[in-house]
């Protein structure tokens, strides 16, 4: 059974139209986003790994080495099964820093201009046989289907078609940050198709050839010897080598990195791939034995590698043959396209761009795209050239081994990226050179010499190394590589840049080390520097992009923010021009400040804290506990009721706590990390003078805070921790309130002393006065002489006056003690004021003064009615004494904000401002000597204080004085509930 | 973490004893050829369980922290 050229073209055409169509429809948005962006499609696109080796080579392996074919599938799956060892750290670094290829990763970890270029070139040479292998597989299957067709011509058409597809759908954007969704969807569909087709062929083998699983098992049982004797058992060494090679290949091969980390920026897909990829490989590997056994049963004589196609041919089933051919075609084309794209990007970023200087005025983005497309053409052309040299029955596995051993050489370097801090570029170079020299001598040189021989003598190429050679080549090259890598790394010192990069890459170190402080002090200065490197337009675009991805404004000036912007610019540039050039540009044009010794300046505490904040969720174990402790202490400092701030030796503010914010009204965010001179001038002069004056550690001074005079107490202390030697901590206490309280206390103590004195004086004078009064009474009784009677009356009047004064003194002395015998009851203010007015009206000193009580009814306070009556009598009596004849005194009472407010206004001579301040002091009076003791208002104040109220005086309108008393109101509802309805004045 | 150690242990063990496994497969009853895959399926199931969302968060923490709002406001004008 053969297929005509037209049929083969038709088959290929249908497949390619589907491939192109799905990619085009995705790019155009014709397919629903829920389908094109579905995680299943994105994860299954990793099936691109299963190229011609999986589809054809694995059956050849199974035919020759029995169950060892599983090593290919399991080895590659193992890389995903133990993802936390290598894949997750790789994903973390690649996603965080936009690293688009393995060369970028190495260039990031070992910052040197040549690292990326070396990795790219070695990868290019190492992987070229694998690309040629894909072309060879397609031409081989075509040869099987129709031996009259020119395979080379068909291979050329295949290469041209794949080149067009790669350019159209894989090289549309200059930056790797922009993803090619069409390519991913096409590869996802291709992977699904490959798996379905392979399963269909296997099911055909079971049911079509054997008649079912039972028959298959019976045949296996009957033909155990037949299946066993043709198998060569792989010894321990080669098995392990194969396993290791495919383990490394699944991570380091460019097309896997490209799909997993370049065309994907979703970490959850990397996590899902951990089980999805092994499951996919498991599905493929399950199909291998039935196909092999079915071909054995049918006695297929062709190369076992093409049994998937031979099976349909031998059994005469055109549909299965067609399906197998298209599936193999899809597998080969997928690998070819993605490897080419990945290699083109690597070569462009790390080989071409560092060597080629772009002319001024050239559109940089168009230039990048053009160069990438040219490289795609060149790589496929080179692979086609190598394919042309291969013999028709060249074993796919033997050719593939050349690539897999080459890729294995990247494993030591890759492991060291995440697990060895002291690994350096010298060690990497030595290891790669040693490994690739062995690889060259044991695999590439024999392949090339076979090619040369075949060309010179026009003899067929014969490159068929046995498993022993694979093993020797893989292990000796890996050992030489590792030995040289370790030896040179141990005996040479890593650079500071390498140590910093290592700290970032180490999987157990999530916190970015301190980089330094930028020389540029603003975004504008950063852009000006970048203008010189990449031109004004590109520079503006890059700065804009970085700012849009970070929460910073264009006027940003804070050092830590500028550092983040710099890192974002480097990351974005890396996806555009590769890590080597991006690092070179950013290092060269956005340098760090250096101190006198040429070292980076030390990190500010704020910057350090900002970095720690970023990584809080990632800290575990002791680090997390220490971080919690740090946060606790930090919070204590923040919530301290005392204002605290600290400055470094350059007077840059390091910390500024909440109390400091409240005291100064300056938010921490606007001053931390800035120089002290950015404060308002008043605060700056106060703090600056205090900090720089070495002789003063404490200072107490009055300072206007928001125009209000406050008494501040400043302390300062030098920080003694080695890293921050010379920093100054300043504590500011606002002691204004304490000062007022202190004065109040002293005043009260003075009043208490006066009270005690008054009580003593009253007691000591009271007794003789009583005696004098008695004697005067006796004198009045015993004499009838008018002079003596007048004298005795005068004595009695004077003693009565003295007794009155003494009574006032005793009242004042007892003023602070609330009489416990008198319970607090609701007092009706209206009634109380009326009572006071009635009492005063009885006095002979009324002078025709009238009283008007304008208190509203229903005003109640809780207290002692007699004492409150005394208050009103005293205040009204003072008002009367200050009034002129026939004046009117108005008493107004109302409820204001839950307080009963009583205003007593007279029309008298008024009172001066000085007197207003002192009139409530004891023994202060403006009355003539003998007219007043100066204790009335002091007693009033004392009683009002007992009732939790306040009293003050102010000028009363045009003339006179207004005394205002405020007392807490008593709720009316409570009045009804209490038995106090029997009012105070009812008694 | 225990499950991670288990997976690593199994894969490493397989690497060390790969030849013994091959021989076992080679000379066991071919009619039960599919049983080799049972170990593999078991390993995939363990990995599925281990691939919790915590992994995704851990992996993308760098990315997230670069996107998240820092505590400081964006304005950088010093007070005057």
Q: Strand locations in A400-539, DSSP E?
A: none
Chain B positions in Cβ-Cβ contact with residue A557 (cut-off 8 Å):
76
Antiparallel, parallel or unpaired: β A961-968 and A899-905: antiparallel
Unique residue bearing structure tokens 């005025």: A361
Q: Exposure of B35 by Cβ count < 10 A (0-12 exposed, 13-18 middle, 19+ buried)?
A: exposed
Model confidence band, residue B71 (pLDDT cutoffs 50, 70, 90): very low
Residue A78 has its nearest CB partner, among B11, B45, B77, at: B11
Is A981 in contact with A975 (CB distance < 8 Å)? yes
pLDDT computed for residue A461 by the predictor: 53
On chain B, the residues whose CB falls within 8 A of the CB of A66 are 22, 25-26
Helix (H, G, I), strand (E, B) or coil at A698: strand
Residue of A912, A913, A911, A937 whose CA lies nearest to A924: A937
Is the Cβ pair A224, B30 closer than 8 Å?
yes
**The pLDDT of residue A285:** 92
Q: Residue A218: its chain B contacts at CB < 8 A?
A: 31
Q: Inspect the interface and report whether the beta carbons of B37 and A74 lie closer than 8 Å.
A: no
B44 chain-A contacts, CB cut-off 8 A: 81, 275, 278-279, 282
Q: Find the CB nearest B22 among A68, A82, A265.
A: A68
Distance CA A145, CA A135 (A): 16
Q: Are A486 and A427 in contact (CB under 8 A)?
A: yes
Residue ranges of the alpha helices (H) in A615-731?
621-639, 658-664, 681-692
Reported as half-sphere exposure (CB side, CA atoms, 13 A), residue A924 has a value of 14
Q: Do A680 and B67 touch (CB under 8 A)?
A: no
Per-residue tokens: A773: 């009064």
Burial zone of A702 (CB within 10 Å; 0-12 exposed, 13-18 middle, 19+ buried): exposed
How far off is chain B from A81, nearest CA to CA, in Å? 6
Matching residue, tokens 């496929």: A380
**Does A36 or B55 have the greater pLDDT score?**
A36
The tokens for A205 are 């083998």
Long-range contacts of A761-768 (CB under 8 A, 24+ apart): A761/A806, A761/A809, A762/A806, A762/A807, A762/A809, A762/A810, A762/A813, A765/A802, A765/A806, A766/A803, A766/A806
- Of residues A83, A268, A282, nearest to B40 (C-beta): A282
| CA distance to partner chain A, nearest, from residue B79 (Å) | 6
Q: What is the pLDDT of residue B72?
A: 41
Residue A838 and residue A947 in contact, taking contact as beta carbons nearer than 8 Å: no
Size of interface A-B (CB pairs under 8 A): 171
- Residue A568 and residue B66: Cβ atoms within 8 Å? yes
Residues of B in contact with A555 (CB under 8 A): 75-77
Would you say residue B55 has pLDDT above 80? Answer: no
Nearest to B22 among A67, A84, A679 (CB): A67
For position A765, what pLDDT does the model report? 84
Cα A77 to Cα A282: distance, rounded to the nearest angstrom? 9
Nearest to B76 among A558, A564, A615 (CB): A558
Cβ contact (<8 Å) for B25 and A66? yes
* pLDDT reported for residue A846: 61
Q: CB–CB of A362/A171 below 8 Å? A: no
Q: Which residue of A has its CA nearest to B7?
A: A82
Crossing angle between the packed helical segments A318-347 and A364-389, to the nearest 10 degrees: 130
Percentage helix, strand, coil, to 5, in chain B?
75, 0, 25
**What pLDDT, on the 0 to 100 scale, is given for residue B54?**
56
Residue A700 has φ and ψ, to the nearest 5°, of -120, 120
Task: Sort A496 into a burial class: Cβ within 10 Å, 0-12 / 13-18 / 19+.
Answer: exposed
Residue of A271, A512, A706 to mutate when probing chain B, most B C-beta within 10 A: A271
B55 vs A contacts (CB less than 8 Å): 84, 88, 271, 274
Burial class from Cβ neighbours inside 10 Å (0-12, 13-18, 19+) for residue A32 reads exposed
Residues of B in contact with A289 (CB under 8 A): 33
What integer pLDDT is reported at residue A844 of this predicted model?
62
Q: Among partner residues A88, A217, A282, which is closest to B44 by beta-carbon distance?
A: A282
> What ipTM was predicted for this assembly?
0.74
CA distances to A67, A229, A230, A311, B31 from A223, rounded to whole Å, are: 16, 10, 12, 19, 10
Query: What average pLDDT values come out for chain A (987 residues) when binned by 10 residues?
Result: 75 83 84 83 88 88 81 90 87 84 91 90 93 89 79 84 84 68 88 93 91 85 62 71 91 90 81 91 91 87 85 86 89 90 89 78 78 92 88 77 93 91 92 94 83 65 67 91 95 88 71 71 86 81 86 79 85 79 83 68 69 70 85 90 88 89 87 82 87 84 84 86 72 88 80 75 83 87 84 85 75 55 78 85 72 88 84 87 85 88 87 75 67 75 86 80 89 54 43
Whole-model pTM? 0.66
pLDDT score recorded for residue B67 = 43
How far is A201 from A70, CA to CA, in rounded Å? 19
């Amino acid at each position: 059974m053969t297929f005509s050229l037209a049929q083969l073209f038709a088959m290929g055409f249908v497949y390619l139209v589907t491939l192109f169509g799905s990619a085009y429809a995705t790019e155009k948005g014709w397919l629903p986003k829920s389908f094109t962006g579905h995680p299943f499609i994105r994860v299954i696109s990793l099936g691109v790994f299963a190229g011609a080796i999986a589809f054809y080579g694995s059956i050849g392996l199974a035919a020759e080495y029995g169950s060892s074919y599983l090593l290919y599938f399991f080895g590659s799956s193992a890389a995903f099964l133990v993802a936390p060892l290598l894949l997750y750290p790789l994903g973390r670094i690649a996603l965080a820093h936009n690293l688009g290829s393995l060369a970028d990763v190495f260039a990031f970890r070992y910052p040197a201009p040549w690292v990326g270029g070396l990795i790219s070139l070695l990868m290019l040479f190492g992987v070229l046989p694998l690309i040629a292998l894909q072309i060879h597989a397609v031409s081989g299957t075509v040869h099987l289907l129709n031996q009259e067709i020119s395979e080379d011509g068909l291979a050329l058409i295949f290469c041209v078609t794949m080149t067009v597809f790669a350019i159209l759908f894989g090289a549309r954007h200059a930056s790797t940050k922009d993803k090619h969704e069409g390519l991913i969807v096409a590869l996802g569909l291709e992977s699904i198709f490959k798996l379905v087709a392979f399963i269909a062929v296997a099911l055909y083998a079971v049911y079509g050839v054997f008649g079912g699983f039972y028959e298959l098992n019976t045949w296996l049982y009957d033909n155990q010897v037949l299946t066993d004797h043709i198998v060569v058992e792989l010894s321990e060494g080669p098995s392990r080598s194969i396993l290791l090679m495919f383990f490394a290949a699944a991570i380091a091969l460019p097309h896997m990195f490209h799909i997993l980390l370049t065309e994907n920026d979703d970490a959850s897909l990397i996590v899902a791939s951990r089980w999805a990829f092994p499951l996919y490989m498991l599905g493929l590997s399950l199909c291998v034995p039935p196909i092999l056994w079915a071909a054995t049963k049918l006695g297929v004589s062709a190369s076992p590698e093409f049994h998937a196609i031979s099976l349909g041919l031998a059994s005469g089933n055109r549909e299965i043959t067609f399906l197998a051919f298209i599936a193999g075609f899809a597998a080969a084309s997928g690998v070819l396209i993605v490897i080419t794209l990945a290699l083109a990007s690597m070569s462009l970023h790390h080989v071409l761009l560092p060597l080629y200087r772009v002319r001024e005025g050239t559109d940089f983005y168009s230039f990048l795209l053009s160069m990438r497309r040219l490289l795609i053409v060149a790589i496929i052309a080179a692979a086609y050239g190598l394919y042309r040299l291969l013999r028709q029955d060249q074993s796919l596995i033997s050719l593939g081994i050349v690539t897999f051993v080459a890729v294995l050489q990247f494993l030591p370097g890759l492991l060291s990226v995440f697990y060895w801090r002291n690994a350096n570029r010298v060690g990497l170079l030595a290891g790669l050179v040693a490994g690739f020299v062995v690889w060259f001598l044991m695999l590439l040189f024999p392949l090339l010499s076979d090619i040369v021989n075949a060309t010179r003598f026009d003899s067929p190429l014969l490159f068929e190394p046995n498993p022993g050679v694979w093993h020797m080549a893989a292990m000796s090259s890996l050992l030489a590589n590792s030995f040289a890598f370790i030896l040179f790394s141990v005996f040479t010192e890593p650079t500071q840049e390498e140590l910093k990069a290592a700290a970032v890459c180490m999987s157990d170190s999530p916190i970015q080390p301190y980089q330094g402080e930028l020389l540029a002090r603003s975004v504008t200065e950063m852009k000006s520097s970048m203008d010189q490197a990449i031109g004004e337009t590109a520079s503006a675009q890059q700065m804009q992009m970085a700012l849009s991805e970070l929460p910073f404004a264009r006027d940003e000036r804070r050092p830590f923010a500028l550092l983040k912007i710099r890192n974002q610019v480097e990351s974005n540039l890396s996806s555009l021009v590769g890590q080597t050039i991006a690092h070179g540009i950013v290092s060269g044009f956005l340098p760090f400040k250096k101190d006198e010794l040429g070292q980076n300046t030390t990190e500010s505490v704020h910057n350090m804290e900002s970095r720690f904040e970023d990584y809080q969720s990632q800290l575990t174990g002791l680090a997390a506990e220490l971080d919690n402790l740090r946060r606790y202490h930090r919070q204590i400092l923040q919530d301290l009721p005392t204002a605290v701030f600290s400055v470094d030796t350059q007077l840059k503010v390091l910390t500024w706590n909440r109390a400091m914010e409240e005291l100064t009204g300056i938010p921490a965010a606007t001053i931390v990390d800035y120089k002290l001179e950015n404060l308002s001038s008043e605060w700056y002069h106060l703090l600056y003078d205090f900090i720089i004056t070495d002789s003063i550690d404490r200072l107490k001074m009055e300072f206007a805070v928001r125009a209000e005079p406050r008494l501040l107490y400043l302390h300062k202390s030098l920080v003694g921790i080695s890293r921050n030697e010379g920093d100054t901590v300043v504590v500011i206490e606002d002691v204004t309130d304490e000062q007022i309280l202190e004065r109040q206390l002293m005043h009260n103590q003075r009043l208490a002393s006066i009270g005690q004195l008054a009580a003593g004086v009253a007691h000591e004078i009271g007794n003789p006065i009583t005696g004098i009064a008695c004697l005067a009474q006796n004198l009045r009784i015993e004499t009838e002489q008018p002079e003596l009677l007048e004298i005795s009356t005068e004595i009695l009047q004077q003693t009565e006056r003295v007794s009155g004064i003494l009574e006032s003194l005793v009242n004042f002395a007892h003023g602070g003690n609330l009489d416990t015998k008198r319970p607090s009851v609701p007092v009706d203010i209206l009634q109380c004021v009326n009572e006071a007015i009635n009492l005063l009206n009885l006095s002979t000193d009324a002078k025709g003064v009238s009283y008007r009580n304008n208190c509203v009814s229903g005003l109640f306070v809780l207290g002692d009615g007699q004492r409150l009556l005394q208050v009103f009598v005293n205040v009204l009596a003072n008002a009367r004494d200050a009034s002129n004849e026939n004046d009117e005194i108005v008493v107004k009472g109302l409820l204001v904000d839950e307080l009963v407010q009583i205003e007593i206004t007279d029309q008298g001579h008024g009172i001066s401002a000085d007197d207003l301040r002192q009139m409530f002091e004891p023994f202060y009076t403006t009355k003539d000597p003998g007219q007043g003791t100066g204790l009335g208002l002091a007693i009033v104040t004392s009683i009002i204080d007992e009732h939790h109220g306040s009293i003050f005086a102010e000028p009363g309108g045009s003339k006179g004085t207004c005394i205002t008393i405020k007392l807490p109101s008593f709720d009316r509802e409570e009045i009804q509930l209490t038995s106090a309805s029997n009012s105070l004045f009812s008694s | 973490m225990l499950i991670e150690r288990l997976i690593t242990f199994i894969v490493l063990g397989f690497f060390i004893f790969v030849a013994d496994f091959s021989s076992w497969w080679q000379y066991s009853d071919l009619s039960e050829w599919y049983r080799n895959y049972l170990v593999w399926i078991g390993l995939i199931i363990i990995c599925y369980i281990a691939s919790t969302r915590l992994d995704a968060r851990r992996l993308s923490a760098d990315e997230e922290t670069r996107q998240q709002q820092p505590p400081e406001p964006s304005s950088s004008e010093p007070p005057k």
